[in-house]
Structure 1
Amino acid sequence: MPDSHFNASGSPARFARRARTLAFALAAMASAASSFAAQGNAAPLAAERAYGALETVATFDGPMPTGVTVTETGRIFVNFPRWGDDVPFTVGELRDGKVVPYPDAAVNRADDRHPADHFLSVQSVVADGQGRVWVLDTAAPNFSSPVEGGAKLVAIDLKTNRIVKTVVFPANVMRAQTYVDDVRFDFRLGRAGVAYVTDSSLSGVGGIIVIDLDTGSAMRRLTGDPSTSADTSFVPVVEGDALMQRDAKGNTKPFVVASDGIALSPDGKTLYYCPLSSRHLYAVPTALLRDASVSEPQLAAAVKDLGEKGASDGLESDANGAVYAGDYEHDSIRRLAPHGGWTTIVHDPRVLWPDTLSVGPDGYLYFTANQLHRQPGFHGGKDLRRKPYALFRVRIDAPPAPTR
């Protein structure tokens, strides 16, 4: 007699049908899994995206560049500091796709016997919008102590291509580890204008140097202030690695660079600056900066911390009041709107250490990318830089900030 329970829960025929259904389901699942796996192998995985209409202006197969400037007529100048590369000339002009010594080869030959008359190691070049390009000579090759009488600002007339003015930094603003890094000009002041210069000393203690371009007199301001000094707690991460000085034995020490980037507001009333070893942007009223009767504590109290912007080497401003900053940890260029708020305008893996920025008359922001973080001093003596270095530009649709 058949088992009534077996009859109630399922006959052999029903069991067979269930088995066939289960087999079909398993086969369908296997087919779907196979199809899913095939699609997964074929489709690209998500990756960090690049954005910003980045254009390559020039590449450099020789020494690494730092500074770039674009004149009101579109001429482009670059400089190559003497940091250990073979540097036949430390200031050059881009002509027909090549870099040629500027204003000539003779001035570019380092000569410690006549330091005021030769370019020793130039860190920055800046077109002033008044028919001149200014050369900022650190006189500190390989970050040595500055050669006495060699740290200077040199103005070259763009029509004659001749030196028309040399301002040697007086001894009262120079220290054993001073490294004059970048400069901005305001010709609305005094008889010949004023220059603001950052001291990015590798001691970590920075400052701002204010120079009267008529008399050559100068004073240091905010020396050792937290806003001009390296943030000792800051350890940048570039290309996934902590950026520290490393010798061949594996010993490390922090990479500390003081006030470096600098930019001037279009009305000349606000100076923006930042230590390289920091992610913060600072601002100070220029009227107080120039006034010797304003004490250092009073001046320090007037400094504004504008918050984090990313870690930057160079800064720049435009005529509309925007401030631009490189972000060397993220291969990016960032922009601070006139009324606040940062946006990233370029992010690209080719932007390996954005250094100096310059707004051209064509509505583009120009900047160098020089792989500074790949130098031997950060990698146990191994040079990881891969030539060529690059000069890029990105459209910003804004003219340069005026200097007069």
Structure 2
Amino acid sequence: MRTALSLGLLTGALALGQGVPAALADSSSASDALPGEQRIGQLEAAFRFTEQMPTGVTVTRDNRRFVSYPRWGDGNAYTVAELKDGRAVPYPDRDFNRPNAKAPAESLISVQSVVAPGDGHLWLLDTGTLPDAGYQASGQLDHGPKLVAIDLDTNRVDRTIVLPDDAALDSTYLNDVRFDFSHGEAGVAYITDSSFTGPGAIIVVDLASGEAWRRLDGHPSTQAEPDFVPVVEGQYMTVTGDNGEQQINRVPADGIALSPDGSTLYYSALSGRHLYSVPTRLLRDRDASAREVEEAVVDHGQKGASDGLAMDNQGRLYATDYEHNAIHRLDTRTGQWQTIAHDPRLLWPDTLSIGPDGGVFVTANQLERQAQYHDGEDQRQRPFVLYRIKADAQPIDARQ
């Protein structure tokens, strides 16, 4: 209130033509000494993207780094890359990155997320969505939404799981995925459905059979919060609708994380600030009723507006906060939050990955500066950045 009052008095003085004390006069030579936001944590630029805009990132146990670039209208030459020797190299090769609309299961269409859970594979979550039109694309290909497992030793596709139509709906947008190899014959995958036009949900995939089913379909915890209005870089993040009025893009379930023992799944909507969790035993149980699952959901309160979530082997949850250029950490045993990074350079912190060297990696891709949020003017500035933050963290071994 003091700052607002002082600024108001100063503005009034200027309007009346009154003199301003020299101590308050703006001076370029003294501008560096003026107060500013306090930074928290140390950001290291681990990679600079001078071309394509990344979303997903994952770091393997032997420190290999992979990123994904969904086809959102930038004319991507490839949708998955390995970061090697200062370059982004199409992975597993350039040919597999060329979308084949006639045989979508045999190529990469548009990969939203990449995850190396420690089972010797890089898993790719392919939305199966073309053309380059983002979440609202009308071109989801038949049998396009899928999981692809690439053997990290041979760099060859080991397995492709095409999601059935009753799990990946026409409206579905596959966003992020977590794996648990301690349950089931070959393990289980949990995927968030971040559809703009249909219900948000958690999709459960049995990796042995390829069967998949939806849980919490349309439940409030997997939907966008109805009154949520994002404010990023000091501006309301809106789009101009067909009627010329400003509207909010409301995106449901997005961020996802799994506890070290695989018993609890954490998740949150992109358009919202609450964190939720649910026991995975109920998600896996085909006989559990929708009501049983819904009654087991826990609302952990507000955490900030997040895109990405991650969990370390100590059971600490990491959440990006795109409204405040920050990353927070929750000790799930005590319920205490801590901010491990806050920096103006964290322009839309998107996906998180925990590396073997104790660092937390995060993509900062300036999503809020895309043309749709600025009346058609693309305000993004290259490079996009992959940052590393010291956090004394270690990844979960999904095979345990």
TM beyond 0.5: yes
Distance 1:38 1:113 in 2: 66
Paired residue for 1:344? 339
1:123-158 deviation per Cα after TM superposition (whole angstroms, max 9, x unaligned): 000002121100000011323242110110000001
Are residues 1:378 and 2:367 paired?
no
AA in 2 matched with 1:323: L
SS of the counterpart of 2:294?
A: helix
Distance 1:393 1:139 in 2: 30
AA in 1 matched with 2:342: H
Are residues 1:324 and 2:318 paired?
yes
- Within-5 A mapping of 1:51-200: 51-141=40-130, 142=133, 143=135, 144-145=137-138, 146-200=140-194
Distance 1:251 1:39 in 2: 38
Paired residue for 1:14? none
The percent of aligned pairs where both chains have the same amino acid is 53
Distance 2:250 2:241 in 1: 16
Paired residue for 2:14? none
Distance 2:390 2:380 in 1: 27
Question: Unaligned stretches of 5+ in structure 2?
Answer: 1-19
Paired residue for 1:223? 217
Distance 1:332 1:342 in 2: 13
With over 3 angstroms needed to count, the CA separation of the structure-2 counterparts of 1:385 and 1:293, relative to structure 1, is same
Aligned residues: 372
AA in 2 matched with 1:194: V
SS of the counterpart of 1:227?
A: helix
Distance 1:214 1:37 in 2: 69
Q: Using the TM superposition, give the Cα deviation of residue 63 of structure 1 relative to its aligned residue in structure 2, in angstroms.
A: 1.6
Are residues 1:50 and 2:33 paired?
no
- Within-5 A mapping of 1:197-346: 197-203=191-197, 205-246=199-240, 250-338=244-332, 339-346=334-341
AA in 1 matched with 2:341: V
Distance 1:259 1:204 in 2: 11
TM-score, normalised to structure 1, is 0.89
With over 3 angstroms needed to count, the CA separation of the structure-2 counterparts of 1:252 and 1:362, relative to structure 1, is same
Distance 1:125 1:38 in 2: 51
Contact 1:151 1:169 in 2 (8 A): yes
Please say which structure displays the higher CA radius of gyration. Answer: 1
SS of the counterpart of 1:300?
A: helix
Distance 2:23 2:221 in 1: 55
Distance 1:190 1:337 in 2: 28
Are residues 1:354 and 2:358 paired?
no
Paired residue for 2:393? 398
SS of the counterpart of 2:221?
A: coil
AA in 2 matched with 1:268: G
Q: Using the TM superposition, give the Cα deviation of residue 395 of structure 1 relative to its aligned residue in structure 2, in angstroms.
A: 1.2
1:29-51 deviation per Cα after TM superposition (whole angstroms, max 9, x unaligned): xxxx9896799984822211112
Contact 1:210 1:290 in 2 (8 A): yes
Contact 2:172 2:198 in 1 (8 A): no
SS of the counterpart of 2:323?
A: coil
Distance 1:104 1:251 in 2: 44
AA in 1 matched with 2:60: T
TM-score, normalised to structure 2, is 0.90
SS of the counterpart of 1:134?
A: strand
Q: Using the TM superposition, give the Cα deviation of residue 84 of structure 1 relative to its aligned residue in structure 2, in angstroms.
A: 0.2
Distance 2:50 2:30 in 1: 38
Contact 1:204 1:256 in 2 (8 A): no
1:303-356 deviation per Cα after TM superposition (whole angstroms, max 9, x unaligned): 000000000001000000000000000000010013211111100000000100
SS of the counterpart of 1:195?
A: strand
Distance 1:292 1:215 in 2: 14
With over 3 angstroms needed to count, the CA separation of the structure-2 counterparts of 1:42 and 1:135, relative to structure 1, is closer
Q: Using the TM superposition, give the Cα deviation of residue 251 of structure 1 relative to its aligned residue in structure 2, in angstroms.
A: 3.0
Q: Using the TM superposition, give the Cα deviation of residue 215 of structure 1 relative to its aligned residue in structure 2, in angstroms.
A: 0.3
- Which stretches of structure 1, 4 residues or longer, exceed 4 Å deviation after superposition? 33-43, 247-250
Question: Unaligned stretches of 5+ in structure 1?
Answer: 1-32
Contact 1:54 1:393 in 2 (8 A): yes
With over 3 angstroms needed to count, the CA separation of the structure-2 counterparts of 1:333 and 1:34, relative to structure 1, is closer
SS of the counterpart of 2:204?
A: strand
AA in 2 matched with 1:224: G
SS of the counterpart of 2:392?
A: coil
Distance 1:401 1:257 in 2: 28
AA in 1 matched with 2:46: V
1:365 pairs with one of 360, 365, 373: 360
Pairwise CA RMSD: 1.8
AA in 1 matched with 2:204: V
Contact 1:249 1:380 in 2 (8 A): no
With over 3 angstroms needed to count, the CA separation of the structure-2 counterparts of 1:165 and 1:307, relative to structure 1, is same
Paired residue for 1:30? none
